[in-house]
Amino acid sequence: MDEILEILSNDARISPEEIAKMTKKPVAAVKQAIRKYEADGTIVQYKAILNPEMIDSACAHPPVRALIEVSIVPQKDVGFDRIAERIYSFDEVKSCHLVSGSYDLLLVVEGQNIQTVAEFVSSKLSSMENVRQTTTHFLLKKYKEDGRIFKQAVRQKRLNITY
């Protein structure tokens, strides 16, 4: 991988000037490379990784996320692509991967609560032609994402209950 891309994939907040120092390239060349990667779709988006435990739960209810394994029947001449395209077009689907193993697609799905995710699976996903089977795993806690370990929020120690 290009060293500019590698640096940005680890921390998108690093400025072109800092990247130029790290790579010993001219700042103008770094800026030009970044513009090219953005224009050709190599860099799709800059994103912050949030620790859900550190977000004030009184202000917002975090969405419920689930991993959904999907077994599908591939279509003649187009394989998995057309079905995957129909599935990832749903707003609830945050990511969609073709994988090897006992199922074909792995989805990351997000909803307001468990019921909205369940409703998506039962009414939209499972009822699709060519979808043979789904298995849903609700995400309970996030420890690490994209190589970053999350600091755990300090919890108040529970009081013992005595009778």
pLDDT band at 147 (very low <50, low <70, confident <90, very high): confident
**Paired strand residues for 93:** 109
On the question of pLDDT at 154 being above 70, the answer is no
Question: Quick one: pLDDT at residue 49?
Answer: 80
Contact indicator for 127, 112 with CB cutoff of 8 Å: no
> What pLDDT score does 161 carry?
76
Residue 118: strand, helix, or coil: helix
Of 5-19, 34-48, 97-111, 137-151, the range with the lowest mean pLDDT is 137-151
Mean predicted lDDT score pLDDT of the chain: 90
Name the residue among 123, 119, 118, 121 with its Cα closest to residue 105.
121
Give the tens place of pLDDT for each residue, 17-49.
Answer: 999 999 999 999 999 999 999 999 999 999 888
pLDDT at 56: 63
* Residue 150 in this model has a pLDDT that exceeds 90: no
Give the domain ranges of the chain: 3-39, 64-145
* pLDDT score of 127: 94
CATH of domain 64-145: 3.30.70.920
Q: Return the SS3 of 134.
A: strand
Q: Which residue has the tokens 């749903």?
A: 90
* 120 backbone dihedrals φ, ψ, rounded to 5°: -60, -45
In terms of pTM, does the model score above 0.85? no
For residue 77, count CB atoms less than 10 angstroms from its CB and return exposed for 0-12, middle for 13-18, buried for 19 or more: exposed
**Residue 124: CB atoms within 10 Å:** 15
